[in-house]
Structure 1
Amino acid sequence: MLLSDLRLSLRFRIVAVLSAVLAAGAILLGFAAWHSSSLAAQQAYDRLLAGGAVQIAENVYVQGGVVTVEPPVSTIATLAAYDLVFYKVVDPRGVVVAGYDDLASDADPVDIRAGVVLEDGLYQGQPVRIATLARQIELPGTNNWATIIVAQTTEARRALARDLTLKALGVIAAMSLLALIATAYAVTLALQPLMRIEREIASRRPDDLRPIAAEPPVEIRNLVQAIDDFMRRLSERMAIMQRFIADAAHQIRTPLAALDAQVEILLATPASRRKADTVKRIHERTAELGRLTGQLLDHAMVIHRKDAAATAAVDLNELAKSVLAKTVPLSLPREVDIAFIPAEPPPIVNGDAVSLREALGNLIDNALKHGAESRLVVTVGEDAEHAWIDVADDGEGFPAPPADLLRPFAKGPASSGSGLGLSIAMEVAKAHGGELAVWRDGWMTRVRLSLART
């Protein structure tokens, strides 16, 4: 696996994040273990030191008017078994009666009379822990308080703290490693549903766009539903394109066959008037084939742009005016009064201007070729929910029910068109949240391209 693939791996990311979390936790626990171990070692040795100071204090007494002390050998031996031990006994007069004269304590005299006071200090260049205690004795002419100071070096304490810390760190490291292994295994198990979904998709044929059968985990259920929805839309789009291709192939065969037949007739006919008629029919067939090819391409373009094209604000007044000017030819075989009625204020819709031009162009072209006898009116309007463009003509209306003519390649019995104009307009209307409506209004036939407002 390449490094880039490894970085994109979900398993690698989860394990890496958990490793970082476990490492940070191990460091924090290590500091906590060191602090707890140091505190435990301090407390353990402090109890021994305080107990030693109390035992020495219990062996301080007055004999013949002089303060005397008999250091308990066993106590000092116990303390000395771990570290160096120093002590000093001072009688109520301030005279050192035993121990090291230069051993000193900073403990408050009031505090040491209430109990043992422990403190850190430095003696003979070594860090020591000092226990100070005052004992009341009867000695006339004094304050009757003798002071006992016991000091012990701290090497054994540090050694015990290190030993406890290392053992705790070993446990933390072992638990972190086990947690990491368990996490990696758990991630592998958790990714099994994804691997099943991957195998199911990989084993399918290219045309198999059924919903995924494998039951997804809750965390990726929305993702799988989005994939299923995408495959459904793709299947619908493929079905539309396949049907369109099949219909287009069928429709193109007819004018091509007719054109081929006319060419054969032309080749077999001597130069005469019939030859001119054949050339005319060839011209008509060629124009019909050109119109059909153009509308097939327009239909394919509309289907493609339905979900792919970016939308923008479109002024329907400007759109209708420009399409009308471009679609109406400079000369018509009959006199047709053409009118344009804009809306005030201009309706604005969010849509694809290219598709809207194609749809409106087809409606105007249909009205001019198959409907309008003397009048064509293009009207723009709007209400609270929709904006629309009406194309009305004074023709005789449609030769078949409008619902039948909205299907691709559907046309009247006497029509020479391709049967795609209304179908293209309907597809564009649906893509813009609207509809295509056809009805007879008095002596006018109206086709309304309705669009959802922004």
Structure 2
Amino acid sequence: MAISSQLRKLSGSLRARLLVAIGAILAVGALVLSFAAWQYAATAARDAYDKLLVGGAIQIAENVYLQGGVVTLDPPAAAFSTLSAYDLVFYRVTDPRGVVVAGYDDLAANIPPAALRKGVRLSDGTFRGQKVRIAAVARKIDGAPGDGWAEIVLAQTLAAREALTWDLASKAIGIIAAMSVLALAATALCLRLVFSPLTRIEAEIARRKPDDLSPIAVTPPSEVRALVGAIDGFMQRLDERIKIMQRFIADATHQLRTPLAAIDAQAELLAADGEEPKALEALRERIADLGRLTNQLLDHAMVLHRAQAPRLAPTDINALAKSVLSQAVPLTLDREVSIGFVPCDADAVIEADAISLREALANLIHNALVHGARSSLTVIVEPSGAGLAICIRDDGPGIPPEAQARLVVPFQKGETSRGSGLGLAIASEVAQAHGGSLRFSGGDGDFSVLMELPAGDTGRPS
């Protein structure tokens, strides 16, 4: 069924959209966490090797001593061995006079001497084309010439730091990626469970017979209750439309059977009855009745269809009523009838369905000519409340008050009427589709049928 297919598409689409959205959020979160993990790994590696570098600088400072009036260094092998395991290590020792007594002459810390005397200072730099981390400190040597402060500078390349950073970051990023994949898989499983009510609704609709338009029995979750309610409402409207069409077919079949049988009987009389002119005239009347009935049945079906979704547009009721009157009155009548039209002086343009309104007016004018008017018929367009009223007034006997409500029901006829019983029903249904009503007033000699129409768009279904 179409509804089942739409539910399947909706369910799949929502699941895919949610998976894509959650996947995008997880991907962004993974990138942010990966960047944070990289920063943390870089900080951890820097701190670890900075401590080794500071320890090495302190050990070198502790091995600087005065011998024979000259500042001398006894290099600490253990410190150099630890620092040079993965990196190149450079150092320099300068005596209080500024003379380099050990290490590389061109290695400098670029840190003020006063700062070095307060403790080890760390900085970044470049030595011989390589990025290095530098630790510098000053040590007071008793008896040394000058001010007695010797300067120790120790530098290390960054290969070991970068290796440790990659190691820590890759492990953290691997864990983040695994958790993101697991989270996405768990989301997919949860979505499968969350959308299972839609799958059950789909299965119920797929199992139904074509004529089963009852409400869906599965209780939906609150998030899709409005959707299921809309589907139930659609099936209810579809069921009502099918019943209307079935009623129309049954009524049409029943109503057409009688005049057709009468035509058949009249045709047989043409051959057997000696008074052929009378039989022929009766046959012509039956044929005319059949034509009128067929047209009204089709008009009624059209009105029922358009009443469900009226095509409202600005319509000049004066022009419409005048046009219908000129076309609905035959050129010859079996009696003298005065025809009149009184337009509305005010603005007569309202939102209306011109096609169905034309059919309703044509039926009202025909009813007035055939069953009402003795010598006069007038169509009047006049203001009524917040809209307009189209009044068909004649000098006929009118409709008794007790029969008025009954005669707006399809196929309900007056006691002496030979009509189909559809004219007033069509007019009433058109008025109701526009948000108005059909009203009767007056009595014998001055009877009116008023179709009241609101000026606004109140007839459009919500």
Correspondence for 1:439? 441
Structure 2 letter corresponding to 1:202 = A
Change (3 A) 1:198 1:327: same
Q: Secondary structure at the match of 1:376?
A: strand
Counterpart among 214, 218, 223 of residue 219 in structure 1: 223
Question: Letter of the aligned partner of 2:111 in structure 1?
Answer: A
Amino acid at match of 1:244: F
Q: 1:361-380 to 2 correspondence within 5 Å?
A: 361-380=362-381
Q: Partners in 2 of 1:43 and 1:100 — Cα distance? A: 25
Task: Determine the structure 2 residue equivalent to 1:410.
Answer: 412
SS at match of 2:117: helix
Q: Which runs of 5+ in 1 are unaligned?
A: none
Distance 1:450 1:113, change over 3 A: farther
8 Å CA contact retained: 1:92, 1:139: no
C-alpha displacement of 1:64:
4.4
- CA change 1:379–1:122 in 2 (3 A) is same
Relative distance call for 1:267 and 1:113 in structure 2 (3 A) is farther
Q: Which amino acid aligns with 1:371?
A: G
**Partner residue in 1 for 2:175:** 171
Structure 1 residue 20, shift from structure 2 partner: 3.1
Q: Distance in 2 between matches of 1:239 and 1:396?
A: 36
Please tell me the residue identity of whatever aligns with 2:403. Answer: P
Tell me the equivalent position of 2:73. 69
Aligned to 1:232: 236
Give CA deviations for 1:80-106 in whole Å, capped at 9, x if unaligned: 234222211111211112222232222
Q: How does 1:390-401 map to 2 (within 5 A)?
A: 390-398=391-399, 401=403
**Pairs within 5 Å for 1:11-160:** 11-139=15-143, 142-160=146-164
Give 1:393 shift. 1.2
More off after superposition, 352-361 vs 260-269:
260-269
Q: Please state how far the C-alpha of 1:29 moved relative to its aligned partner.
A: 2.6
Separation (CA, whole Å) in 2 of partners of 1:215 and 1:76: 76
CA contact (8 A) 1:131 1:150 kept: yes
User: Which amino acid letter does the alignment assign opposite residue 119 of structure 1?
Assistant: S
Q: Give the whole-Å Cα distance in 2 for the aligned partners of 1:110 and 1:99.
A: 22
- The letter for the 1-side match of 2:355 is V
SS across alignment from 2:330: coil
Choose 24-33 or 334-343, whichever is displaced more. Answer: 24-33
The number of aligned residues is 447
Q: Is the 8 A contact 1:372 1:395 kept in 2?
A: yes
**1 CA distance for matches of 2:383 and 2:152?**
105
Report the aligned-residue RMSD. 2.2
Question: Which deviations, in whole Å up to 9, do the C-alpha atoms of 1:100-120 show, x marking residues without a partner?
Answer: 223222233343333322222
Aligned AA (1:436): L
Shift in alpha-carbon separation, 1:60–1:384, aligned structure 2, 3 A: farther
Distance 1:377 1:277 in 2: 34
The answer on whether the counterparts of 2:96 and 2:149 sit within 8 Å (CA) in structure 1 is: yes
Q: Is the 8 A contact 2:397 2:444 kept in 1?
A: no
User: Which of 411-420 and 105-114 deviates more?
Assistant: 105-114
2:345 match: secondary structure: coil
Stretches (4+) displaced over 6 A: 5-8
Q: Tell me, in whole angstroms, the C-alpha distance in 2 between the residues paired with 1:403 and 1:225.
A: 35
Structure 1 contact 7–13 (Cα < 8 Å) conserved: no
Q: State the distance in 2 between where 1:304 and 1:358 align.
A: 13
- Does the 8 Å CA contact 1:317/1:346 hold for their aligned counterparts? no
Q: TM-score, normalised by structure 1?
A: 0.92
Question: CA distance change for structure 1 residues 118 and 336 in 2, over 3 Å: closer, same or farther?
Answer: same
**Contact preservation (8 Å) 1:6, 1:12:** no
SS at match of 2:156: strand
In structure 1, C-alpha distance between the alignment counterparts of 2:111 and 2:11, rounded to whole Å: 62
Aligned to 1:424: 426
Q: Does 1:346 align with 2:350?
A: no
Tell me the amino acid that sits aligned with residue 252 of structure 1: L
Give the TM-score normalised by structure 2: 0.91
CA contact (8 A) 2:314 2:352 kept: yes
Structure 2: gaps spanning 5 or more residues:
1-8, 457-462
Task: Please give the alpha-carbon distance, in whole angstroms, between the structure 1 residues aligned to 2:241 and 2:88.
Answer: 91
CA-CA distance at 1:172 after TM superposition: 1.3
Give the letter for the 1:73 counterpart. Answer: A
1:211 to 1:108, Cα distance in 2 relative to 1, 3 A = farther
Tell whether the 8 Å contact from 2:23 to 2:184 is kept in structure 1 after alignment: yes
How many percent of aligned residue pairs carry the same amino acid?
Answer: 56
Q: Deviations over 1:161-214 (max 9, x none)?
A: 111111012101111110111111111112111111111111122222212121
1:385 to 1:25, Cα distance in 2 relative to 1, 3 A: same
**Greater CA drift, 398-407 or 426-435:** 398-407
Change (3 A) 1:314 1:143: farther
Distance 1:390 1:96 in 2: 121
Indicate if the aligned counterparts of 2:71 and 2:144 stay in contact, CA closer than 8 A. no
Q: Residues 66 and 144 of structure 2 are in contact (CA less than 8 Å); yes or no, is this contact kept in structure 1?
A: no
Q: Shift in Å at residue 156 of structure 1? A: 0.8
